[in-house]
């Protein structure tokens, strides 16, 4: 019993990886599922569809090494911070869904209302609650679908629902509770019940098992049932770990050996559909515009912040999907092809390429450093051009904006959180885009650390499974035993100078966009009753 099964559920697919106890990936497979958008700002899934994809990915992964399936000693799940709604009498969400996707923004007004309470909880979310967290979504559901709310019997983070389906044990992970709920693990009574009562949703904590003591990441959630084992392709009875959010799993996968000694200098970054920056600290630190600090979210006794960009990889997908001169719909092959074409143009033209196209990349609000889910992107250099050159410049300007905002976030954490980040460790799908890798190397003002593993998110989840399997005493020990080799990339001097200039433009646009947003909200507040007449 010397192998580990890690299952990662992203925005559009599930992936399974089989690892040995040293952290080497032996097999990997994936399966997709559908994201539904039944209304503006609504994004939902059907849980059964996701679970079927999980089982397909697991079975296909193990089919590559059938001789090892019986030697799996532990399983762990990570997932996006999406929310499963358990309800009687049919699917509770529009479109036949029962999972609210992380990117669902139906709760923007509710998030602003929660901000206005001034509750102490807000000090743990950067002073402004994101509509992507669970409370605004659930508050929206109770107010706008009261007949549905009456049927709700439970609400669980996605990683907890996977562990439940694998074990038939109802349990919440402190990772999800600390990061996405009004739950403060360092307090004697962690639930912010007074806030819930004030908002008229005090009954939330009576649902399901929310009041039960949560499990810490890596503890044993339960053991695989016979039916789940048959579906996943693994033996019944093996331990399933208390899981975690996918970004946290990605952070584990790239922290590297000796991390405790360089905790204040290394910023883990997980770039996928969205991007998350996951610093840890031994003490409580409050940083405006940054989610956290969350205690015990991954390492017991340690605090974690989470900064981020709500749409990053998805923004590059949108350029491929929507631009008139795009070669086709977004795919890994077309991203690679587009990146290679742009890199050749950059070799020929240098910083002159797309010199007047600049973007503030907040298409779905700003997670950090502003912490405002309602703001939107701002772009310059837009004209009537719709040809290939315009497509390539748009793609590059989008990718560069993501890297420049990464620098903005890093500097904000250093200036306001007593961090001293000089290195960024990259995980996630952005590793496979050579243009993004070059931009993160040259534009962030920090060394770029790359880990010698193809699947850092799955590796982080395998480290969690190793603790539940009893291979290691805790996550730090698991990290030391299973972390891959790393290398550091230093910025190219010429391109660092070019991006320094682009960063100054970005900061000017960021300030201007924020001023426009304030003025626009004042305009929005004008009542129609005060208008002098029809235009």
| Average pLDDT of span 111-115 | 97
| pLDDT of residue 333 exceeding 70 | yes
CA dist list (Å): 209 to 160, 172, 193, 457: 11, 8, 15, 28
| Average pLDDT of span 114-134 | 96
**Nearest-10 Cα torsion for 460, 461, 462, 465:** 130
401-428 pLDDT per residue, tens: 999 999 999 999 999 999 999 999 999 8
Asked if 198 and 120 touch (Cβ cutoff 8 Å), the reply is no
- Name the pairing type of β-strands 3-9 and 44-45: unpaired
**Nearest-10 Cα torsion for 369, 363, 252, 13:** 170
Residues 6+ apart with CB under 8 A from 336: 432, 433, 434
453-498 pLDDT per residue, tens: 999 999 999 999 999 999 999 999 999 999 999 999 999 999 999 9
User: Quick one: tokens of 404?
Assistant: 């420049």
Give dist(CA 332, CA 344) in Å, integer.
19
What pLDDT does 5 receive? Answer: 98
How large a percentage of the chain has pLDDT more than 70? 99
| Average pLDDT of span 500-526 | 96
Q: Is 420 exposed, middle or buried (0-12, 13-18, 19+ CB in 10 A)?
A: exposed
Asked if 271 and 427 touch (Cβ cutoff 8 Å), the reply is yes
| pLDDT of residue 178 exceeding 70 | yes
Segment 94-98 long-range contacts (CB within 8 Å, at least 24 positions apart): 94/38, 94/39, 94/42, 94/44, 95/36, 95/37, 95/38, 95/42, 95/44, 96/36, 96/46, 97/36, 97/38, 97/44, 97/45, 97/46, 98/44, 98/45, 98/46, 98/47
Give dist(CA 97, CA 117) in Å, integer.
31
How large a percentage of the chain has pLDDT more than 90? 97
What pLDDT does 1 receive? Answer: 80
Q: Confidence band (pLDDT; 50, 70, 90) for 48?
A: very high
Give dist(CA 400, CA 361) in Å, integer.
9
Single pTM value for the model: 0.93
CA dist list (Å): 409 to 312, 405, 445, 451, 473: 14, 6, 11, 22, 34
Give dist(CA 12, CA 195) in Å, integer.
34
Residues 6+ apart with CB under 8 A from 275: 269, 308, 309, 312, 313, 402, 406, 428, 430
Asked if 39 and 94 touch (Cβ cutoff 8 Å), the reply is yes
Give dist(CA 484, CA 254) in Å, integer.
8
Asked if 450 and 456 touch (Cβ cutoff 8 Å), the reply is no
Give dist(CA 439, CA 263) in Å, integer.
24
What pLDDT does 530 receive? Answer: 56
- Count, residues in the chain: 535
Residues 6+ apart with CB under 8 A from 29: 15, 16, 56, 57, 58, 60, 61, 63, 64
Give dist(CA 410, CA 306) in Å, integer.
12
What pLDDT does 528 receive? Answer: 74
Chain centroid to Cα 534, Å, comes to 45
| Average pLDDT of span 197-224 | 98
Residues 6+ apart with CB under 8 A from 139: 107, 110, 114, 199, 201
DSSP assignment of 324-360, as one string? TT-SSS--HHHHHHHHHHHHHHHHHHGGGTTTT--EE
């Amino acid at each position: 019993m010397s192998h580990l099964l890690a299952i990662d559920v992203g925005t559009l697919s599930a992936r399974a990886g089989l690892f040995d106890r040293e952290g080497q990936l032996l097999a990997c497979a994936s399966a997709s599922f559908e994201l539904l958008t039944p209304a503006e700002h609504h994004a939902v899934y059907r849980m059964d569809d996701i679970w079927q994809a999980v089982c397909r990915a697991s079975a296909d992964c193990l089919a590559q090494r059938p001789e090892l399936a019986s030697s799996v000693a532990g399983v762990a799940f990570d997932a996006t911070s999406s929310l499963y709604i358990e309800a009687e009498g049919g699917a509770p969400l529009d479109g036949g869904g029962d999972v609210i996707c992380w990117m669902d923004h139906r709760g923007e007004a509710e998030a602003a209302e929660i901000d206005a309470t001034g509750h102490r909880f807000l000090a743990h979310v950067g002073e402004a609650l994101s509509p992507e967290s669970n409370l605004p979504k659930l508050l929206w559901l109770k107010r706008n679908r009261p007949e549905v709310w009456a049927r709700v019997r439970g609400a669980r983070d996605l990683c907890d629902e996977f562990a439940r389906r694998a074990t038939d044990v109802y349990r919440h992970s402190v990772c999800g509770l600390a990061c996405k709920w009004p739950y403060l693990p360092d307090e004697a009574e962690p639930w912010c019940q007074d806030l819930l009562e004030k908002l008229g949703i005090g009954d939330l904590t009576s649902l399901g098992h929310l009041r039960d003591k949560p499990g810490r990441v890596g503890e044993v959630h339960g053991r695989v049932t016979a039916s789940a084992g048959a579906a996943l392709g693994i033996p019944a009875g093996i331990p399933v770990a208390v899981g975690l959010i996918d970004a946290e799993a990605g952070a584990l996968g790239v922290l590297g050996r000796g991390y405790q000694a360089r905790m204040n200098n290394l910023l883990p970054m997980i770039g996928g559909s969205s991007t998350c920056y996951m610093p840890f600290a031994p003490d409580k630190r409050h940083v405006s515009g940054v989610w956290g600090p969350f205690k015990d979210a991954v390492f017991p006794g340690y605090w974690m912040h989470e900064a981020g960009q709500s749409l990053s990889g998805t923004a590059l997908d949108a350029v491929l999907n929507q631009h008139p001169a795009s070669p086709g719909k977004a795919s890994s092959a077309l991203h690679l092809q587009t990146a290679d074409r742009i890199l050749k143009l950059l070799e020929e033209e240098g910083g002159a390429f797309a010199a007047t196209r600049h973007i503030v990349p907040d298409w779905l609000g700003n997670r950090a450093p502003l912490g405002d889910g309602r703001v939107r992107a701002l772009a310059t250099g837009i004209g009537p051009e719709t040809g290939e050159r315009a497509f390539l410049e748009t793609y590059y300007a989008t990718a560069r904006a993501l890297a420049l905002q990464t620098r903005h976030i890093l500097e904000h954490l250093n200036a306001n959180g007593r961090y001293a980040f000089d290195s960024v460790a990259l995980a996630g799908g952005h590793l496979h885009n050579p243009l993004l890798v070059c931009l993160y190397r040259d534009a962030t003002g920090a060394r770029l650390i790359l880990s010698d593993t193809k699947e850092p998110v799955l590796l982080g989840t395998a480290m969690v499974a190793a603790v539940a399997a009893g291979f290691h005493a805790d996550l730090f020990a698991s990290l030391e035993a299973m972390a891959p080799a790393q290398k550091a990339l230093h910025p190219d001097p010429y391109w660092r100078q070019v991006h320094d200039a682009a960063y100054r433009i970005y900061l000017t646009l960021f300030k201007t966009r924020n001023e426009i947003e304030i003025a626009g909200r004042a305009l929005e507040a004008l009542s129609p009753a005060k208008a002098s007449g029809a235009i």
